Amino acid sequence: MYIVVVFFFVFGCAFRATTQAPARAKIAVSAEPVSSSSSSSSSTLADPGLRRLLLSSVATRIDEEYGDDDVSKNLRTVARLEAEAAEARLGLLVEAVPDLNPRHAVVLARLAAWFNATVRPVATWKPPRVKEKGDAVLEDLVAHLLEKYPDVPAGLRSAPWLAGDADEERVAYRFSRAYESVGRGDKSARDALRDLAGIDGLTKKAAAAFCQQPADEKGPLPALRRAQCEALGLPSWVADSVCRARCARFFAGDERFFSHEALPWIARHATDLEGPHVVTLAVDFFEEMRRADPKYSTSGRTPKTVAAAMDTYALTTVDFADDEPFLPNPRGLRPMFKTGATIPRGTVVAVPYDDPRNGGRGPYRVGAGTDRGAIPSNLRVEEIRSLKRLIYEGTQLDNCLENRRDSQIKYLLRARNRVSSFWSFTISGDSDDSMPKHILLLEVWHLHDGNIVRQAEGPRPRTLPSPEAWYWMQVWCEANDVDWTTWGIYSRLDQIRPCDPL
């Protein structure tokens, strides 16, 4: 069992918890007794906004700490106990810092949810005498709770303050736990950072550079990326470009690859790339290629040899501002990127419903010697990681996602709860002026006993996948151990429409 979705009600509010990351440590539900009156607890969570913040932080901790182990079977009980204990701790924190603004509320909710035991109790803290309270008072409280030793890097101190979406919440959690271990004296800053990035994912020089940096207003992860660039002697404009890449928002899938291959490649070829935006593109491109193929390497590649693939990647990458991001699928399903892809000679594709009995033209002979799938093309299968990107896909296919709010909400809820992931299939020719065609939108359900295809649709008015799209769907599914035989189509088919070769 790789994913558990739990819904229960705590203090009248629905709480969601899913498992994703490998288990790193069992959560001690009551590391030390917490004394708090029931009146304090009830008044603390009288504010619905504060309640949501607390439960969101508890959910992040559950996600990060529990993996595919026996304790997951009792996740409902664990989550309830965690929420109750966190509420009691939050009551004490709010009493200590009663004048809350929204930013401070986030920090207090995280302190309550993420740390069962602290270096010192809240009760022994005395607020500093400052003219303007602002952040200084809360910063002093955080240091009181987490720092036995004061030599904590500024980048780690910024972790509990990081604001943002679910990706940033996870980054904040991981860096906050590193902050705790350094503040307690359990680990050196270098060891704590290397644990974050994987033991081989961070060089000694980069860790030292991070410890010397001031806090980055965008959070600890951009600061770490700048430190990695500094350790390689990269100029500031390159570091700025790297910090605009996705790896500055969340940890790369393979930190060792990023640190030892992707970033050194950028260091060697930055001056050969056409400006800062291409540096950002290259970083994202390499990370995507590594996700698609764990054996992918930058060794032996030059800007010239990856230019065409990067152009295709850029054309099929769409990002939106002010968007709701989705967390990555919980099963480790990988994207796919193929250049010069063709379908093997002699392949026969049978698209369901597309047969003479229903007025269709299948089965189809595809591949070399036919007009379908014989011309080398660039194929990309990309996980859709945000709401607007999902709606954009619906626009390209002219389906119900484009303008039907009920469909958008239905898919959004499934993505939020990570019971589904959505995948975009695009294909383009090898010529420079060939624009990508959106050929398939695939929904995969993540069930207890495996991953299955829920639905797969091509562009309207046909809606049925084309023979080429159906073939590549099978290839991707088999590479990721997804059962495609469960496929269904949920749009109305008045007739089986023909489709031109791609």
Last residue of a domain, one of 105, 128, 146: 146
pLDDT band at 42 (very low <50, low <70, confident <90, very high): very low
185: left (phi over 0), alpha (psi -120 to 50) or beta: left
Tell me, what's the pLDDT at 38?
A: 40
Last residue of a domain, one of 146, 168, 185: 146
In a domain, 187, yes or no: no
In a domain, 139, yes or no: yes
Provide mean pLDDT across the span 335-345. Answer: 95
In a domain, 499, yes or no: no
In a domain, 253, yes or no: no
pLDDT band at 132 (very low <50, low <70, confident <90, very high): low
In a domain, 26, yes or no: yes
Provide mean pLDDT across the span 377-400. Answer: 90
Helix (H) or strand (E) segment spanning residue 289 = helix 276-292
Q: At residue 24, does pLDDT exceed 50?
A: no
R_g over Cα of the chain:
25
What are the start-end ranges of the E strands in 398-436?
A: 420-429
* Helix (H/G/I), strand (E/B), else coil: 439: strand
What does the pLDDT look like over 473-498, one tens digit per residue?
999 999 999 999 998 776 667 788 88
Rounded to 5°, angle at Cα 401 from 467 and 479: 40
- Using the structure block, give the residue that is written with the tokens 């809820």: 413
In a domain, 141, yes or no: yes
Q: Distance (Å, rounded) from C-alpha 340 to C-alpha 431?
A: 11
What integer best gives the mean pLDDT of the chain? 84
Tell me, what's the pLDDT at 17?
A: 33
pLDDT: which is higher, 7 or 442: 442
Contact 110, 146 (CB under 8 A): no
Tell me, what's the pLDDT at 315?
A: 82
Tell me, what's the pLDDT at 229?
A: 95
Residue 366 DSSP one-character state: E
Pair of tokens at residue 248: 């500055």
pLDDT: which is higher, 319 or 304: 304
Residue type, 6: V
What does the pLDDT look like over 154-189, one tens digit per residue?
999 999 999 877 788 989 999 999 999 999 999 999
Q: At residue 401, does pLDDT exceed 70?
A: no
Quote the domain boundaries for residue 93.
1-146
What does the pLDDT look like over 189-206, one tens digit per residue?
989 998 887 767 788 899
In a domain, 297, yes or no: no
In a domain, 179, yes or no: no
Tell me, what's the pLDDT at 328?
A: 87
Tell me, what's the pLDDT at 34?
A: 36
Rounded to 5°, angle at Cα 391 from 388 and 397: 145
Q: At residue 467, does pLDDT exceed 60?
A: yes
Q: Distance (Å, rounded) from C-alpha 472 to C-alpha 83?
A: 45
pTM of the predicted protein model = 0.74
Tell me, what's the pLDDT at 164?
A: 79
Residue type, 322: D
- Residue 344 sits in a domain whose CATH number is 3.40.630
Q: At residue 134, does pLDDT exceed 60?
A: yes
Tell me, what's the pLDDT at 403?
A: 58
Q: At residue 45, does pLDDT exceed 60?
A: no
Last residue of a domain, one of 105, 123, 146: 146
CA–CA distance from 405 to each of 205, 229, 240, 402 (Å)?
A: 51, 44, 38, 9
* Helix (H/G/I), strand (E/B), else coil: 319: coil
Pair of tokens at residue 255: 């930190």
Number of domains present in the structure of the chain: 2
Q: At residue 390, does pLDDT exceed 70?
A: yes
